[in-house]
């Protein structure tokens, strides 16, 4: 018997019916004397991971046989939390009341016992063991207490304040943001104790606020010297060796379309008409020419995983020498690229594709707004006249591709994003809804086509790679969504597993209706998160059987790996042994990339919340109209129409009645007057209080 954790677990599930001591387990599972020491070591590891439970008396048992669940604890500012089980088979999240957290902190791995279910069927439990403390340091605000002090965590999901004695406060003063190492964790009647290791500055300093977010999320800002030195050696003075086996496309009409402030242009496009349709060219910066595998640059890019974009700046995955210069496809400058040529017929059907390395020279650096205006109104500058026919043909092709994509199963969500405008002083000037115009849609279709073409190629080559996957939603969440949209006269098919086309049909029906925003928002929350994976189950929301990320190697590490794989596949055949090792490597990179993407998203979201709080800080007492976009057990969030900012109406501020939270209907209802506040309702609110350190905007309903 191989003594892997998986094999031991399978044997225990199959051959035991009660908790057993090590000796009993060994006999039942047929473990030889020679393997006993290794067996004990594996049991210890499994207990540490939570896949087995060690009971008093030295007996080992299965958690699910004892009504126990292992998972990660997610704290809430009000002192309670939820345990997210390790596996979906264990059901949904488990509510943990404040008195049943047993000293667990946000993100700790724990074991909980399910003790009851509430009226809506949600399990409620008690944490009985903390397997792993996930937090060793925090960023927070220092508040003095006599000679000592307290650190109030910036992330309010850490609901314990941390006590700091006078000898460990490092001279911190009231209102300063600090980094604190945790010396001891909370126990019954004892708070966590910490030691201040760094003072970042005062909380009302915008730069300090920004830096505190990056420190909290352990964001890498500075590049190691070895990576910087490699970046500085990169050059666009290409040698014969650099250009060997590259196709010279510098005579082609190629251009870029990007945002107003973008500097890292990693994709350019071209288009020719053929006898049977279109030949689309997608030309992507050949970043792997400069970032060699296992080099200092490559290791740092892997660690970062992605660039982080935010209002007022960017933390790049690669040094600016590469991201904004050498690799960026600047106009009128020769650059190395990886080209994908895709042939479509007049109906937008894939005919064939070709991949090769190239050297290109972009003719024009367009912005999305420029192209949108050109498509609507024609050229205003002479240099644009020469490419107008190409742009019109691109627009024609993109509309054909878009129509076919949604017909084939893509889901078209309409959930607006904020666009934050900063002035020269670094303060927020205005916040509005980001526009998604025809130029955005054009580039979106072409990039999707290129990503799909590369994914198909790697699949045909049977080459392990990193896929961008999006699995189908959980049945319970779809059922809950159906129950909600029933009220709008919307129905999903009642037979079989839900298809992406079914969801797209729902969104088409609500387009232009008052409930459009609510249905889109709720459906988006029903979906699973997209992630990177070595497995290839397809992309549910795009309706693609195979999909990968290829078009952004300057800012996403999975794209960089895809470039390396694609180029390698064009020049060599991989042996079975190489493919086996490659599969293991891809699995690790995919997991890490998904994790880093999550951290980047968290940083971008927090900075958006910070900017919103900064913008609203002088608007206390002002009245606004808004829409309820989210209903929670502690109140509801309102999106303000005039400034595109979200704030919280806490249930405690609803003083005209006693209100009951009805989770399945996403609403609060008054017990006496039956007044209802539900998702999608239009309400008039007043800005009650704004906290920049907590990134919180409190609203009150106008009575």
* Of the listed ranges 58-62, 145-149, 165-169, the one predicted with least confidence: 58-62
User: Which H helix or E strand runs over 641?
Assistant: none
Taking a C-beta distance cutoff of 8 angstroms, is the pair 170, 142 a contact? no
Q: What is the pLDDT of residues 435-447, one digit of tens each?
A: 899 999 999 999 9
Q: What is the pLDDT of residues 475-528, one digit of tens each?
A: 888 988 898 888 888 888 876 788 999 999 999 999 988 888 889 988 998 999
Q: What is the CATH classification number for the domain harbouring 51?
A: 1.10.10
Q: What is the pLDDT of residues 299-324, one digit of tens each?
A: 999 999 999 999 889 999 999 999 99
The verdict on 646 and 675 lying in the same domain is: yes
Q: Does any domain span residue 595?
A: no
The verdict on 295 and 404 lying in the same domain is: yes
Q: What average pLDDT does this structure show over 532-554? A: 96
Comparison of pLDDT for 249 and 674, the residue scoring more? 249
In the prediction, which pLDDT does 7 show?
78
In this predicted structure, the answer to whether residue 297 has a pLDDT above a threshold of 80 is yes
| Distance, CA of 427 to CA of 446 (rounded, Å) | 36
Q: Does any domain span residue 552?
A: no
Of the candidates 13, 46, 63, which is a domain's last residue?
Answer: 63
Q: Does any domain span residue 601?
A: no
Domain of 176 in residue numbering reads as 137-216
pTM of the model: 0.86
Of the candidates 40, 63, 86, which is a domain's last residue?
Answer: 63
Q: What is the CATH classification number for the domain harbouring 212?
A: 2.40.50.700
| Distance, CA of 394 to CA of 398 (rounded, Å) | 6
Q: What is the pLDDT of residues 16-49, one digit of tens each?
A: 777 778 788 887 787 888 888 888 888 888 787 7
In the prediction, which pLDDT does 486 show?
86
What total of structural domains would you count in the chain?
6
The verdict on 398 and 289 lying in the same domain is: yes
In this predicted structure, the answer to whether residue 1 has a pLDDT above a threshold of 60 is no
Q: What is the pLDDT of residues 208-248, one digit of tens each?
A: 989 999 998 889 999 999 999 999 999 999 999 999 999 99
Q: What average pLDDT does this structure show over 353-377? A: 96
| Distance, CA of 509 to CA of 491 (rounded, Å) | 10
Q: Does any domain span residue 533?
A: no
The verdict on 285 and 390 lying in the same domain is: yes
The verdict on 345 and 395 lying in the same domain is: yes
* Of the listed ranges 106-120, 228-242, 552-566, 643-657, the one predicted with least confidence: 106-120
Q: What average pLDDT does this structure show over 656-670? A: 90
The verdict on 260 and 401 lying in the same domain is: yes
| Distance, CA of 104 to CA of 73 (rounded, Å) | 7
Q: What average pLDDT does this structure show over 82-106? A: 85
| DSSP states along 507-557 | HHHHTTSTTHHHHHHHHHHHSPPPEEESS---BTTTTBSS----S-TTTBH
Q: What is the pLDDT of residues 593-623, one digit of tens each?
A: 999 999 999 999 999 999 999 999 999 999 9
Q: Does any domain span residue 566?
A: no
Share of the chain above pLDDT 70, in %: 99
The verdict on 368 and 427 lying in the same domain is: yes
**Residue 90, phi-psi category: left (phi > 0), alpha (psi -120 to 50), beta (remainder):** alpha
Of the candidates 108, 132, 156, which is a domain's last residue?
Answer: 132
The verdict on 241 and 369 lying in the same domain is: yes
In this predicted structure, the answer to whether residue 684 has a pLDDT above a threshold of 80 is yes
The verdict on 494 and 352 lying in the same domain is: no
In this predicted structure, the answer to whether residue 88 has a pLDDT above a threshold of 70 is no
Q: What average pLDDT does this structure show over 626-654? A: 92
In this predicted structure, the answer to whether residue 252 has a pLDDT above a threshold of 70 is yes
The verdict on 208 and 229 lying in the same domain is: no
The verdict on 253 and 381 lying in the same domain is: yes
In the prediction, which pLDDT does 85 show?
87
Q: What is the pLDDT of residues 41-71, one digit of tens each?
A: 888 887 877 778 787 777 777 777 677 888 8
Taking a C-beta distance cutoff of 8 angstroms, is the pair 92, 74 a contact? no
Q: What is the CATH classification number for the domain harbouring 631?
A: 2.40.50.140
Q: What average pLDDT does this structure show over 189-206? A: 92
Q: Does any domain span residue 554?
A: no
Q: Does any domain span residue 29?
A: yes
The verdict on 300 and 391 lying in the same domain is: yes
Q: Does any domain span residue 142?
A: yes
Which three-class secondary structure state does DSSP give residue 339?
Answer: strand
In the prediction, which pLDDT does 182 show?
97
């Amino acid at each position: 018997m191989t003594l892997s954790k998986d094999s031991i677990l399978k044997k225990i599930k199959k051959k035991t019916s009660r908790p057993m001591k090590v000796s009993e387990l060994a006999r039942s599972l047929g473990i030889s004397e020679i393997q006993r020491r290794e067996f004990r070591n594996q049991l210890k590891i499994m207990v540490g991971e939570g896949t087995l439970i060690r009971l008093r008396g030295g007996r080992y048992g299965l958690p699910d046989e004892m009504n126990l669940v292992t998972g990660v604890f997610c704290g809430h500012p009000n002192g309670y939390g939820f345990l997210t089980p390790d596996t979906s088979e264990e059901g949904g999240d488990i509510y943990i009341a404040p008195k049943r957290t047993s000293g667990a902190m946000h993100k700790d791995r724990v074991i909980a016992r399910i003790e009851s279910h509430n009226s809506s069927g949600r399990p409620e439990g008690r944490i009985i063991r903390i397997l792993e403390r996930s937090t060793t340091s925090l960023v927070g605000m220092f508040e003095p207490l006599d000679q000592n002090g307290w650190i109030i965590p910036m992330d309010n999901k850490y609901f314990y304040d941390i006590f700091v004695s006078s000898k460990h406060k490092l001279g911190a003063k009231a209102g300063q943001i600090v980094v604190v190492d945790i010396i001891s964790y909370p126990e019954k009647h004892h708070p966590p104790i910490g030691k201040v290791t760094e003072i970042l500055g005062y909380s009302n300093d915008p730069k300090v606020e920004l830096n505190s977010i990056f420190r909290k999320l352990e964001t890498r800002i500075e590049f190691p010297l070895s990576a910087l030195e490699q970046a500085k050696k990169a050059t666009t003075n290409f040698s014969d060796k650099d250009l060997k086996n590259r196709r010279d496309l510098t005579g082609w009409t190629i251009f870029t379309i990007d945002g107003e402030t973008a500097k890292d242009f990693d994709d350019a496009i071209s288009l020719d008409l053929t006898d049977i349709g279109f030949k689309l060219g997608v030309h992507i910066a050949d970043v792997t020419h400069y970032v060699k595998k296992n080099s200092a640059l490559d290791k740092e890019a892997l660690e970062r995983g992605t660039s982080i974009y935010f209002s007022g700046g960017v933390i790049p995955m690669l040094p600016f020498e590469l991201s904004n210069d050498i690799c960026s496809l600047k106009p009128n400058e020769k650059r190395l690229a990886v080209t994908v040529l895709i042939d479509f017929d007049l109906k937008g059907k894939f005919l064939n594709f070709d991949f090769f390395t190239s050297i290109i020279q972009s003719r024009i650096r367009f912005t999305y707004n420029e192209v949108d205006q050109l498509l609507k109104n024609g050229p205003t500058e002479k240099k644009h006249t020469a490419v107008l026919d190409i742009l019109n043909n691109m627009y024609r092709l993109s509309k054909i591709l878009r129509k076919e994509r949604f017909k084939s199963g893509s889901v078209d969500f309409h959930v607006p994003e904020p666009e934050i405008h900063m002035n020269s002083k670094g303060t927020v000037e205005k916040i509005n809804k980001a526009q998604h115009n025809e130029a955005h849609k054009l580039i979106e279709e072409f990039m999707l086509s290129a990503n799909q073409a590369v994914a198909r190629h790697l699949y045909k080559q049977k080459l392990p790679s990193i896929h961008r996957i999006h699995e189908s939603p959980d049945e319970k969440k779809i059922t809950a969504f159906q129950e909600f949209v029933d009220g709008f006269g919307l129905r999903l098919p009642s037979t079989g597993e839900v298809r992406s086309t079914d969801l797209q049909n729902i969104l088409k029906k609500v387009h232009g209706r008052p409930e459009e925003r609510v249905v889109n928002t709720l459906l988006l929350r029903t979906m699973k998160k997209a992630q990177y994976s070595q497995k290839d189950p397809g992309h549910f929301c795009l309706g693609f059987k195979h999909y990968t990320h290829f078009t952004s190697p300057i800012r996403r590490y999975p794209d960089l790996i895809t470039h390396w794989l694609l180029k390698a596949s064009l020049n060599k055949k991989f042996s079975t042994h190489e493919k086996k090792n490659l599969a293991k490597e891809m699995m690790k990179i995919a997991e890490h990339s998904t994790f880093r993407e999550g951290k980047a998203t968290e940083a971008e979201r927090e900075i958006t919340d910070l900017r919103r709080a900064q913008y609203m800080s002088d608007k206390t007492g002002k009245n606004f109209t808004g829409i309820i976009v989210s209903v929670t057990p502690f109140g509801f969030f309102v999106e303000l129409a005039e400034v595109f900012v979200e704030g919280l109406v806490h249930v405690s501020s609803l003083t005209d009645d006693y209100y009951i939270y009805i989770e399945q209907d996403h609403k609060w209802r008054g017990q006496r007057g039956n007044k209802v506040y539900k998702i999608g309702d239009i309400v008039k609110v007043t800005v009650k209080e704004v906290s920049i350190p907590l990134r919180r905007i409190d609203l009150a309903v106008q009575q």
